[in-house]
Amino acid sequence: MPGIPARARDRLAVVAIATSIATGFASTAAAAKRPPKPPSAQAAFTDLLNSFDASRWAKADGWTNGAPFDNAWSAGNIAFHDGLMELTLDDTARLGQPYTSGEYRSTGYYGYGCYEASFKPVAESGVVTTFFTFAGPFDNGGNGKHNEIDIEFLGQYLGGKPSYVQFNFWTNDDVYTSRNEYLQQLDFDAAAAFHVYAFRWAATGIDWYVDGQLVYSAADSPGDPTPKATDSLQKVMMNLWPVDSSATAWAGEFAYPGAPLRAQYQWVRYSTLDDCQIGSTPDDPPPPPPPPDGDASSMHLLGIAMSLASRDTQVIARASVVDGLGHPVVGASVTGTWSGVIGSGDGERATDGNGIAIFYSSRTRSHGNVEFCVTGMSLPGMSYDASANTESCDNITK
């Protein structure tokens, strides 16, 4: 395999940081500043990916990564239907990039344990389909450095029997110097059906599994250490993307086939080391409840999900609005207020296609409690029933 990194997230930011240090921009006073508070490790979960869960996940939207990615990210390229999550890669030009695609990322951070997903990748040269964990300068899981554990499908190695999957990891490696890529041969066509891909992350190393069978291991060593949860927790991520010309030797050359490409995910699960469930299938979801007896012309707040961003200097509040039948309300104007160590930020936002209004606070390095409260909402033809709110305020400690 050529030495092309499995991912080049935020390369420009890394170069800028390195340049600042080399030119003496990072002063002694800056170096002495208190580092951001590390995030807390999240608990085990199983998500059957039947719908968007804003309390755990976020859809990448409105930015690009730079080389070797040849796309922009859009929340509109993530859909849920027929009990699946679908990431779509299309030829919509956006933010200076020729293609648009989808990325699904957890809002919280996770540590040692077992990470599993059942999915079907895209068999198209130059396309990468993934399930991985990640933390870095802008997804700071603790030390602000690049840490990552990968399961990646490179389209040029799919579409027949055998197929290949690539495993990889990066440890405190902002300049992408390590070479830990490993291609594992599979005895099936990975793009033809769903299979379960997993890894077990511990302080002693990483084990990768396919359909419950151990297929590859990377042991921790002083010369080539594996990531440590004590250094940095990581986010859970899934994405689909085309490579640019800098990565064709690694993933193949991409030529848009004339129609959108879609990767499908059935479920994802994280369990702690003491409760790893690799090889078992999550229980089928319970039957859906009967339709609620409510008023489709009224709306209320289903809940608020709070998360930290921008190296824990900013808070994001996601307010979910539904009608009296429990359906998302699109285009509602939602107002809210901030209090605590951050007292300002977005005061009014509209709900998106999932019925979620996303509010961003102002930024501060101060530590303490931040509260966000919804104060009202409006939409022509609908009434706001505040008494039906499951909550009107939520808070988070930063």
Q: What is the gyration radius of the CA atoms in the chain, in angstroms?
A: 22
- Backbone angles phi and psi of 94, in degrees to 5: -155, 135
Q: Catalytic one among 86, 116, 124, 148?
A: 148
Distance of CA 325 to the CA centre of its chain: 29
Distance CA 70, CA 299 (A): 40
Strands (E) located in 221-365: 235-242, 261-271, 298-309, 314-323, 333-340, 348-350, 356-360
The helix or strand, by DSSP H or E, that contains position 105, with its residue range, turns out to be: strand 103-106
What is the 3-state secondary structure of 213-245? Answer: EEEEEEECCCCCCCCCCCCCCEEEEEEEEEECH
Please report, for residues 250, 262, 268, the alpha-carbon distance to residue 152 in angstroms, rounded to integers and kept in the order given.
12, 15, 15
Q: Catalytic one among 103, 116, 124, 152?
A: 152
- The residues, any chain, with a CB within 8 Å of residue 283's CB and separated by 6 or more, are none
Dihedral (Cα; 328, 331, 333, 339), 10-degree rounding: 60
Distance CA 356, CA 368 (A): 26
Q: Is there a catalytic annotation at residue 371?
A: no
Distance CA 284, CA 194 (A): 16
Classify strands 57-59 and 103-106 as parallel, antiparallel or unpaired.
antiparallel
**Catalytic residue annotation:** 148, 152
